[in-house]
Structure 1
């Protein structure tokens, strides 16, 4: 994808970098300024995410499994004079990062590539400071269950909800499938109890949840926008790291 210049692997444009927060934070979850904040862009190599958060004044660390993707981040940092740290590792192993190191963790769609989100959330909880934000986007379970060819009744459910095995790839890469499933990728369905419950069990509280709108009226049948009118493809979650309640409770002074 990096070698082919996939849109996900392209740095932000000059126009986007002139207004980075309006690009990355349309919901206003980041509070208006992240200058000086320690931000982890997790599984987010490719030069885009890191450059936008660096342009907004954050101290950026970017983690990705792909060295080719991280090279794009290095190139953007060198070209624009951004200071950023890069780390090549899996999202389940952040041992190269310190406890409570980050104010904000940004995590684009990628949890579908791991069999279990539990170790991912545990590592994110470890590196996020109490009170810090974890903003993540995931593939909706039903989007991975459903087919990509519309019938008279809509898009049929093809795969079981309760499953441990990867979701089979589409038999035909229709317009909607090609935007939702990367060719050759192995993907896993994570149920809502894995996503929402898993975040809560890992030490986060959910503050907001949105389903990014990709539906369009009168979209061509079997297109990405048409399928999105029936099945929301993604969910975006704002979660806040809670600390140790006993440690945060004010001391009681007895005169």
Structure 2
């Protein structure tokens, strides 16, 4: 059964939020809600952002940083790579064209259905896996690299559980690189207008952002961590933090993306990229 069934849509095609609250939300509630949300939102999201994401391209963040320029994963040719939260899997297909042996994973069946369509239309076929990132159905030390471009980590209640799973499936010396919402975004309004850069909530308030439908059912959950929280989560599972990247806005890039915009991007960071490695 389609998990997005009966989820009402707003005029923009995204799931309609009947209410918004800041309250606790656990792992099961977060996963269930976000699976339904992304299943329902997939057509609207890809209609809005698909041309920017591309069919076989690796965009790390709305600032426009691409792996072809950043080389955060190094040489991927011949490497076994796991992408977590692949969406329609453009990053995985780009990695495949660069010579990697890729597995693309997502929680959302709706997103994976679009990924399968693009596999067929591009002729670049990557294996697709539906799973929760906190319970990866992969063997120990089977991956050389793992990556996640805004895929999953901002939406999970327990990032340590996901990071522990990533550490488990990585081979010694393997990299895990992930982009997430920059924690500095949390205190500001969700607006691309630089005039709205005013603090409206506490940076230190980790209470999740929760949207509900008209019947009060949870339909979307996003979790906040400070920069220190991310550092502690990474080192807490035994990964080595090699770099924290805060991408600057790409010169000439004009696309707005939610609260990201060229004007706002010139003033404050919107993305944090964690570059980590498994020792050994």
How high is the TM-score relative to the length of structure 2? 0.68
The answer on whether the counterparts of 2:210 and 2:220 sit within 8 Å (CA) in structure 1 is: no
Q: What is the DSSP-based 3-state SS (H/G/I as helix, E as strand, rest coil) of the residue aligned with 1:2?
A: helix
Specify which of 26, 41, 54 is matched with residue 69 of structure 2. Answer: 26
TM alignment of 1:101-180, pairs within 5 A: 101-109=142-150, 110-148=152-190, 155-167=197-209
Deviating more after overlay: 78-87 vs 192-201? 78-87
Is the counterpart of residue 53 in structure 1 residue 92 in structure 2?
Answer: no
The answer on whether the counterparts of 1:148 and 1:155 sit within 8 Å (CA) in structure 2 is: no
Distance 1:24 1:151, change over 3 A: closer
State the 1:86 CA deviation. Answer: 1.5
Q: Deviations over 1:17-69 (max 9, x none)?
A: 9xxxx9424222333x3121101010112031121111111111011011121
State the 1:151 CA deviation. Answer: 8.0
Q: Deviations over 1:167-212 (max 9, x none)?
A: 367xxxxxxxxxxxxxx74211112222112111212112222111
Distance 1:13 1:66, change over 3 A: closer
Q: What is the DSSP-based 3-state SS (H/G/I as helix, E as strand, rest coil) of the residue aligned with 1:189?
A: coil
Give the equivalent residue in structure 2 for 1:174.
none
Give the equivalent residue in structure 2 for 1:242.
279
Is the counterpart of residue 93 in structure 1 residue 135 in structure 2?
Answer: yes
Distance 2:50 2:112 in 1: 10
The answer on whether the counterparts of 2:153 and 2:180 sit within 8 Å (CA) in structure 1 is: yes
State the 1:132 CA deviation. Answer: 0.3
State the 1:213 CA deviation. Answer: 1.3
Give the equivalent residue in structure 2 for 1:249.
none
The answer on whether the counterparts of 2:93 and 2:125 sit within 8 Å (CA) in structure 1 is: no
Give the equivalent residue in structure 2 for 1:227.
264
State the 1:80 CA deviation. Answer: 4.2
Q: What is the DSSP-based 3-state SS (H/G/I as helix, E as strand, rest coil) of the residue aligned with 1:87?
A: strand
Distance 1:8 1:102 in 2: 29
Q: Deviations over 1:218-245 (max 9, x none)?
A: x99x8722222332110112111113xx
Distance 1:235 1:151, change over 3 A: closer
Q: How many residues in Structure 1 have an aligned counterpart in Structure 2?
A: 219
Distance 1:23 1:204 in 2: 24
Distance 2:109 2:50 in 1: 12
How high is the TM-score relative to the length of structure 1? 0.74
Give the equivalent residue in structure 2 for 1:6.
47
- In the alignment, structure 2 segments of 5+ residues that lack a partner are 1-40, 59-64, 212-218
The answer on whether the counterparts of 2:73 and 2:177 sit within 8 Å (CA) in structure 1 is: no
Distance 1:194 1:224 in 2: 26
